[in-house]
Amino acid sequence: MEEDLLGHAIYNLFTNNFEDKVREDKTYEEYLKTCSKKRLTKFLELFLIKSIDDKILYECEKIKNKKKELIVQYLTKNVRGIVQATLSVGSKDTIDCMRKFVKNNVIEISETKRDVSLATIGLLISCGLVFAEKGKTSSMIHMPKEVVSCVKELIDDKKVRQKREIVDRVRTLLIGIGNAYGVIPVKQAYDIYSTFYKDLDEDEFTIYMMIIDIAEELMDHFMGEDEELFLFNFDIENPEEFYNSIQSRTDLDYRDFSLEEYKLFAESRYFTKILEYKQFAKFVQEMYDCNLRDEDYINDSLYEYLMLSQTDDRHAERELLADMREYFEMGNINMVNKFMGYIVMGIRNNYPRWELKGHTPNEIFMKHEKPKIIPIKIGRNDLCSCGSGKKYKNCCGR
């Protein structure tokens, strides 16, 4: 019931801005003529951002203050370029969605019927490549035939594919870096990128970062002091303040990861490689005959916990316990403590933390804290330190 209400709310919130009158034979130019100048200007701005072309930048800047009719003419004339720019920087979801419009240029969506991502549809609407109308029970999304023709021609074009491969590499590494560190200067993100790839200089890398839509992956960038750019994870409410706080750890450099590890971070599955996760997987296999690697719900819950715990440990633990109790029969408090021990003391303390610049709590303890601990010598006839009340020789010293 709650999921139905949530789905209803999301659908209505998303489709309330559908303002076009969809007709299957309507041309691209006809749609543009019905748009406000403000909306047309947004189409122009996205085109110039995604194209990475000085000529287009000059043309768009020049035309956006002209009459609406001239903007319509310019966009109609450059529909191929708009499609090419979108295909070149689009995510896999965007490309897959555009392929669906090639097969059927009108797609119907409703609260219960959605073959395409709402976020991806929103992106294509914002680019001016599809147009949408909300009905009483469903919404119609239309890609005009001129756009379809360009998509068909360019989607597998060699130059477009090559550019998309670079974009995909940058996107994957940006998401991986953002999930690994939480917040990091873009300059250092480029240093990481250039360790693995030699195809872009720092300026080109920064431009790609600016045009790639990483917001759907909960990443973004902000401008700090001295106009320095930073990459950050959306889970951090105040990224600039958070970055300043971790800079107090002058004893720590950002931890290095391999390319494959950054890719695991990008896939939200880095935690599955650590030993403590494997120990937890063995525990649930033995106790519940459950193969953890096949259970997306549990793994998603673990990942959400690890992300939330980066900024709010207590709330994260409450959410995690609720999720685990929904899936597993825990019985008594001892079983609850076992679960939380495996996950909190095990997985969490061996998972990279943002406030530790990608190092784990256990790594920091072993390197910086453990050497300072002075061992206490306990005599065989002394009371045991475990608190049992017995002599050491009759308890832990046996």
Read off the pLDDT band of 12 (50, 70, 90). confident
pLDDT at 312 over 50: yes
pLDDT value for 175: 92
Q: What digits encode the pLDDT tens for the residues 54-65?
A: 788 788 888 888
pLDDT value for 54: 75
Q: Decide if 373 is inside a domain.
A: no
Cα separation, 109 vs 197, whole angstroms:
40
Q: Decide if 201 is inside a domain.
A: yes
| Residues 224 and 186: beta-carbon distance below 8 Å | no
What residue has token string 């701005």?
Answer: 45
Write the DSSP string, 309-327.
HTT-HHHHHHHHHHHHHHH
Cα separation, 48 vs 35, whole angstroms:
19
pLDDT at 208 over 90: no
Last residue of a domain, one of 91, 120, 154: 154
Last residue of a domain, one of 265, 294, 322: 265
Q: Are residue 201 and residue 91 in the same domain, yes or no?
A: no
pLDDT above 70 as % of the chain: 88
Mean pLDDT for 164-179 is 92
pLDDT value for 377: 53
Strands 131-134 and 219-223: unpaired
pLDDT at 19 over 90: no
Q: Are residue 130 and residue 192 in the same domain, yes or no?
A: no
Q: Decide if 203 is inside a domain.
A: yes
Q: Are residue 90 and residue 112 in the same domain, yes or no?
A: yes
pLDDT value for 135: 84
Residues 6+ away with beta carbon under 8 Å from 32: 40, 72, 75, 76, 128
Higher pLDDT, 31 or 250: 31
Read off the pLDDT band of 194 (50, 70, 90). very high
pLDDT at 333 over 60: yes
Last residue of a domain, one of 154, 188, 218: 154
Read off the pLDDT band of 112 (50, 70, 90). confident
Q: Are residue 228 and residue 241 in the same domain, yes or no?
A: yes
pLDDT value for 386: 46
Enclosing domain of residue 174 = 167-265
Q: Decide if 258 is inside a domain.
A: yes
Q: Decide if 66 is inside a domain.
A: yes
What residue has token string 């010293």?
Answer: 397
Q: Are residue 177 and residue 57 in the same domain, yes or no?
A: no
Q: Decide if 27 is inside a domain.
A: yes
Helix (H) or strand (E) holding 132: strand 131-134
Question: What pTM was estimated for this model as a whole?
Answer: 0.77
- Mean pLDDT over each residue of the chain, to the nearest integer: 86
**141: alpha, beta or left, given left = phi > 0 and alpha = psi -120 to 50?**
beta
Q: What is the DSSP letter of 248?
A: T
Looking at 87-101, 110-124, 184-198, 382-396, which range is the least confident one? 382-396
Closest CA to 180 of 268, 302, 247: 268
Q: Are residue 75 and residue 183 in the same domain, yes or no?
A: no
Q: Are residue 224 and residue 302 in the same domain, yes or no?
A: no
Q: Are residue 109 and residue 35 in the same domain, yes or no?
A: yes
CA dist list (Å): 47 to 205, 302, 370:
19, 39, 56
Looking at 1-10, 38-47, 134-143, 309-318, which range is the least confident one? 1-10
pLDDT value for 372: 45
Read off the pLDDT band of 295 (50, 70, 90). confident
Q: What digits encode the pLDDT tens for the residues 221-245?
A: 888 877 889 999 988 989 999 999 9
Read off the pLDDT band of 374 (50, 70, 90). very low
| Residues 255 and 198: beta-carbon distance below 8 Å | no
Closest CA to 60 of 68, 49, 69: 49
CATH number, domain at 195? Answer: 1.10.10
Mean pLDDT for 10-26 is 82
Cα separation, 19 vs 107, whole angstroms:
16
Report how many domains make up the chain: 3
Q: Are residue 102 and residue 235 in the same domain, yes or no?
A: no
pLDDT at 127 over 70: yes
Q: Decide if 342 is inside a domain.
A: yes
| Residues 122 and 42: beta-carbon distance below 8 Å | no
pLDDT at 262 over 90: yes
pLDDT value for 39: 93
Higher pLDDT, 234 or 28: 28
Strand partners, 133: 19, 140
Number of alpha carbons in the 13 Å side-chain half-sphere of residue 134? 10
Cα separation, 69 vs 82, whole angstroms:
18
Q: Are residue 114 and residue 29 in the same domain, yes or no?
A: yes
Q: Are residue 128 and residue 228 in the same domain, yes or no?
A: no
Share in percent of the chain as helix, strand, coil (round to 5): 65, 5, 30
Q: Decide if 202 is inside a domain.
A: yes
The b-or-e profile of 252-265 (16+ CB within 10 A means b, else e) is bebbebebebbbbb
Q: Are residue 147 and residue 179 in the same domain, yes or no?
A: no
pLDDT at 149 over 90: yes
pLDDT value for 182: 94
pLDDT above 90 as % of the chain: 49
Torsion of CA 57, 61, 63, 66, to 10 degrees: 170
